[in-house]
Amino acid sequence: MSERLLEVDRLVKYFPVHGSLGDQIRRRPRLNVRAVDEVSLSIGSNETLGVVGESGSGKTTLGRTVLMLERPTSGTITFRGQTISSLKGEQLRQLRKKMQIVFQNPYSSLDPRARVRDIIAEPLRAFGAARGVIDREVERVLEAVNLPEDSTLRFAHEFSGGQRQRIAVARALIVSPDFIVLDEPTSALDSSVQAQILNLLRKIQDDIGLGFMLITHNVDVVKFMAHRVAVMYSGKLVEVGNTRAVLESPFHPYTSLLVASVPKPDPDNKIGDVNIVGEVPSAVNPPPGCRFNPRCPYAQDVCRRDEPLLREVAPGRWSACHFAGELKESPTPGSA
Amino acid sequence: MAEQPLLEIKNLNVSYRSAVKTIRAIDNVSLSVNRSEIIAIVGESGSGKSTLGLSIINLLQKPPAVVDSGQILFQGKDVIKLPEREMASLRGTGISMIFQDPLSSLDPVYTVGWQISEAIAMREKRSASWKPGPFKREDSEPAPPSGGARRVVGVRLPRSRRRGAYSEEVIEALKRVQIADPERVIDRYPHELSGGMAQRVMITNAIVQRPSLLIADEPTSALDVTTQAQVLRLMREMRRDLGASILLITHDLAVAAQVADRVVVMYAGEVVEFSDASRIFKKPLHPYTEGLLNSIPRKYREEGRLEAIPGDVPDLRSPPSGCRFHPRCKYAFERCAAERPHLVEPEPGRMAACFLRYSS
């Protein structure tokens, strides 16, 4: 087992909802979007943790908060033994050398007026690197992401989506970080290009050794990329564990639903009647008890009353379901 | 075949023109859709799949789009030559289309019930037995009910005016697309719906008009995977219950596999493979289809890397010579760069545009 790189303990991030003027006059209590609610997890130094969830599950907020791009409402984040959730100013800035992020959309995350060299070198320049160092490092990361050397003087718009995402990865790599959050790194790319970028990210991890938090809605991408997977639902972690174990024998009914809903490129293997109505609940006013209970085929009274805690059900397998381990067969008929 | 296909596209060429450049978006495409058949058109960005959908329902923005040549025969009539007046009456009841982003296709100032009622009214009006009913938007249009005004002033408009007529049929239709609590959803405005609900409302809008052909352009791409599964099931039911034909436009081969009877693969404006779904996923005939299938991450991390297609989707402003796919193709040989392959039929009922499939 690789050493712990990042540890997150009961991390909470709320965003206040601004009520109407009438609400304020009547002094109604302030409401919050509970984007990340008591999330605990850890990532090893050479590990990819996949964070999978649907829109509104809080996965992007989790990624941003872990990097201290959002200030946590409560909870602690420990990076290589140092508590970073209380850092401010210059100390926080220095941290950016070690933690980086790659965003979903390479069409909007790269400055259209800057040359590729300047885009990639910017993090180094922010830390006052000398010109010679910058040239050498730019060359190094360009090679790492397989971009031709002559791309440095061109502009981002001259590149295709896949190449732009390579530029974004190069920019993250140039400060030699220990940890990168990949926020939907291939969702904006064509499917034939997605595979190239996924292969590249894995090669980079194997070559230089760093931790990834891979945020995605795509179960297939997690399957191929992640050592371990964390499933989020409505701001909560509902299941964490080894990728193959979680996807093949999920402990949480939501994970089962998610896995069963993934279409397979095989007409003989159709998604069965995924007979679950309803949608992801509002994160402002989540249902009491388990947040999945209104959609769960196994919901009992206890699920509507008590919120289940994430607990270790089997070695290395965590689930936040009152009946984890007791629901043996997959609850959705689709997986047959 | 004895029965005439519902839709037949013959040698269609569509280009986008500007003062400086002409881009050939659809290059000599021919295909046919039978009654009650689901055909998936699979392609990446720039493959021409959306342009093809818009051509069929005659909603291309002209200019810059120009139909250079070819025919689109819907029930025997060429929609390209159809006067706009007749085309307008064909839309909805004959051919209906739903888009990727449902919120931009729904009218924000009318309730769900109102919009679906309007679709039903259009259908009734077109049927021979139509008599002027209670819904008369064209003659005396009531002020659009505004959500904001309703809230601030606290006055609720009479239900009948907000809902339009036909509320029973609307509720029935919403139930069919598995919308929970349709009696309440009927009074909602589009912005109050989640993405999955809005897409189902769009589908309801299309279904109530009972079109013979539904064109669905990336209907699930903006949706979460659990909602996608529901919408895909809905498409299968729509074919089963209403006998509609569906042209599903998607970038996702797995989505195509879930619903389609036949699959058309497009690359850079051309059809490169056309096959029944049962065979194409087991043994693709075109190297591009094979590459796309291999690009889907199906294996676990420890099972090795993916076999990715190298390079990028071609820029249609300067497409490669010969076979458009040859710069990325692992089987490419000299002839591929020099000459363009045309569709051949190496197996009965299956077409592929690849020299490897030419019989010597």
Residues B42, B178, single domain; the answer is: no
Residues B215, B77, single domain; the answer is: yes
As given in the structure block, the two tokens for residue B41 are 């058109």
Q: Which residue in chain A has the smallest CA separation from B295? A: A195
Which class would CATH give A4-98+177-263+270-335? alpha beta
Residues B49, B191, single domain; the answer is: no
Min Cα separation B45/chain A (Å): 7
Q: How many residue pairs bridge chain A and chain B with CB atoms within 8 Å of each other?
A: 142
Q: Residues of chain A whose pLDDT is less than 70?
A: 1-2, 273-278, 328-336
Interface of B with A in 118-137 (CB under 8 A): none
Domain harbouring B37, CATH code: 3.40.50.300
Interface of A with B in 50-79 (CB under 8 A): 54-55
* B225 contacts chain A (CB < 8 A): yes
Q: Listing from the earlier edge strand, what are the strands of the sheet with B22-33?
A: B22-33, B7-17, B65-74, B77-78
Contacts of B222 in chain A (CB under 8 A): none
Residues B86, B216, single domain; the answer is: yes
Question: How much is the pLDDT for A281?
Answer: 76
Residues B140, B183, single domain; the answer is: yes
Q: Listing from the earlier edge strand, what are the strands of the sheet with B38-42?
A: B95-98, B213-217, B245-250, B38-42, B262-267, B270-276, B350-352, B344-347
* A104 contacts chain B (CB < 8 A): no
Question: How much is the pLDDT for B260?
Answer: 94
| Per-residue pLDDT reduced to its tens digit, A281-334 | 777 788 889 999 988 888 899 999 999 999 999 999 999 999 988 875 544 443
SS3 of chain A: the string is CCCEEEEEEEEEEEEEECCCHHHHHCCCCCEEEEEEEEEEEEEECCCEEEEECCCCCCHHHHHHHHCCCCCCCEEEEEECCEECCCCCHHHHHHHCCCEEEECCCCCCCCCCCCEHHHHHHHHHHHCCCCHHHHHHHHHHHHHHCCCCHHHHHCEHHHCCHHHHHHHHHHHHHCCCCCEEEEECCCCCCCHHHHHHHHHHHHHHHHHHCCEEEEEECCHHHHHHHCCEEEEEECCEEEEEEEHHHHHHCCCCHHHHHHHHHCCCCCCCCCCCCCCCCCCCCCCCCCCCCCCCHHHCCCCCHHHHHCCCCCEEEECCEEECCCCCCCCCCCCCHHHC
Q: Which of B176, B225, B261, B262 to mutate to test the interface with A (most CBs of A within 10 A)?
A: B225
In a domain, B257, yes or no: yes
B168, amino acid identity: E
Which of the listed residues B249, B267, B285 is the one where a domain comes to its end? B267
Interface of A with B in 166-195 (CB under 8 A): 190-195
Question: How much is the pLDDT for A273?
Answer: 63
Please tell me the total count of domains within chain B. 2
| Per-residue pLDDT reduced to its tens digit, A173-195 | 999 999 999 999 998 888 889 99
CB-based contact A81:A14 (threshold 8 Å): no
Is the ipTM higher than 0.90? The answer is: no
Q: What angle do CA A268, A269, A272 make, to 5 degrees?
A: 125
Q: Which residue in chain A has the smallest CA separation from B193? A: A279
Min Cα separation A196/chain B (Å): 5
| pLDDT per residue rounded down to tens, chain B (360 residues) | 457 889 999 999 999 998 888 889 999 999 999 999 999 999 998 899 999 999 999 888 888 888 999 999 998 889 888 888 888 888 888 899 998 888 888 888 888 988 888 888 888 777 655 444 444 344 334 444 444 333 333 344 444 445 556 888 888 888 888 787 888 888 889 988 888 888 889 988 888 888 899 999 998 887 888 888 888 888 888 888 888 999 999 999 999 999 999 999 999 999 999 999 999 999 999 999 999 999 999 899 999 899 989 988 888 888 899 999 999 999 999 999 999 999 999 999 899 999 998 875
* A23 contacts chain B (CB < 8 A): no
Residues B150, B183, single domain; the answer is: yes
Question: Would you call A177 exposed, middle or buried from its count of C-beta atoms within 10 A (0-12, 13-18, 19+)?
Answer: buried
Contacts of A202 in chain B (CB under 8 A): 301, 305
In a domain, B354, yes or no: no
Beta bridge partners of B34: none
Contact criterion met (CB < 8 Å) for A279 and B295? no
Give the residue numbers spanning the domain of B55.
7-94+210-267
In a domain, B253, yes or no: yes
Helix (H, G, I), strand (E, B) or coil at B185: helix
Q: Which of A194, A224, A228 to mutate to test the interface with B (most CBs of B within 10 A)?
A: A224
